[in-house]
Every structure is written in C-alpha cells, then in structure tokens.
Structure 1
Amino acid sequence: MVRGKSDKIDAGRIAKYAFLHQEQANLWIPSREIIKSLKSLLSQRARLIKAKLILITPIEELAGLGLKKNLATLKRSFDPHWQR
C-alpha cells in the first residue's frame, strides 16, 4: 500500500512504470477478420446446440415414460431436423 493517493499521483506512477518497462511492452494487434468471423460462427453454433438440447430433453423424457403417441407427434414437429 502506498500513502498519498490521488488521480494526479496515480497517473504519474503509471507513466513512470510504463516508461521503465517500455522495452517489455507488446503492441496490441487486432484480430484478423476471418478470426472474428469464426468466433462469431462458433458462438452461434453453441447457442443453437443449447437450444436444440432444451427442445430435445422433453422428447427424450417422454420416450423414457413410454408415451409413444406424444413422442411421435413431437418427433414429427422436428422433421427433417430430427437428427443427432
């Protein structure tokens, strides 16, 4: 802990630290557009998988209970997307 804190003192300490360690600094390089695109697509895929699981779980629970009529109706509502 350091006594005598203020915005002006803190700014001076940060500037001194940056000056003393400038050789160790790495410049920030923004991600390439293709990397941003891939991250976005992977996030969308994860959301879709989560949504699919939310929808499939009740269907699988009905299958476990042996309610064949309800199960067939629900499976038809997913066709042709009913695949794993």
Structure 2
Amino acid sequence: MNERAITILGWIATVTAIVMYLSYIDQIRLNLAGHPGSMLQPIATIVNCGLWTAYGLLKTKRDWPIAVANFPGVVLGAITLATAL
C-alpha cells in the first residue's frame, strides 16, 4: 500500500473512531435523566484514549490521525464519568 492510501485509511479510521465515541452522548443523556450507567467503561475509555492521544502527540513525527481520533474519547469519557457520579 502506498503512503497516500495509508494516510487516507488513517483519516477514515479517525472519523469512525469519533463516531464511536459520539455514542457516549446517549449515555450522558441517560445519566442526566437519572439512569446512570457503569463507571468502568468511561474510566477505561479515558485511560485508553488518553494513552493513544499522548502517543500520537509525543512521537517525533506527530501521528495526527491517532491523536485526533482518540481525543474525543477522553473528553466524552470524562463527561460520561462525571454525569454517572
């Protein structure tokens, strides 16, 4: 696979990851409506996505698709966790 195709694949994966993390919005809504979910999944998401975001940003040649794909997971995982408390 050539470099351009790999770059395109990386950005497609980024978009699909962000869509996956947007599913947390429904859980946040349920939490706020008084139906809190488990805190385990948002904690795991925050840790996992935080590590991948750091990895993407701390590389000598930054890996933007990885960082951009995982940062929403940190934010939405944190909001989900805060609303579940």
Higher relative contact order (CA 8 A, sep 6+): 2
What's the TM-score bracket when you normalise by the shorter of the two chains? Answer: 0.3 to 0.5
Q: As a proportion of its length, which structure holds more helix?
A: 2
- Relative to the length of structure 1, the TM-score reads 0.46
- Relative to the length of structure 2, the TM-score reads 0.46
> Which has the higher Rg, Structure 1 or Structure 2?
1
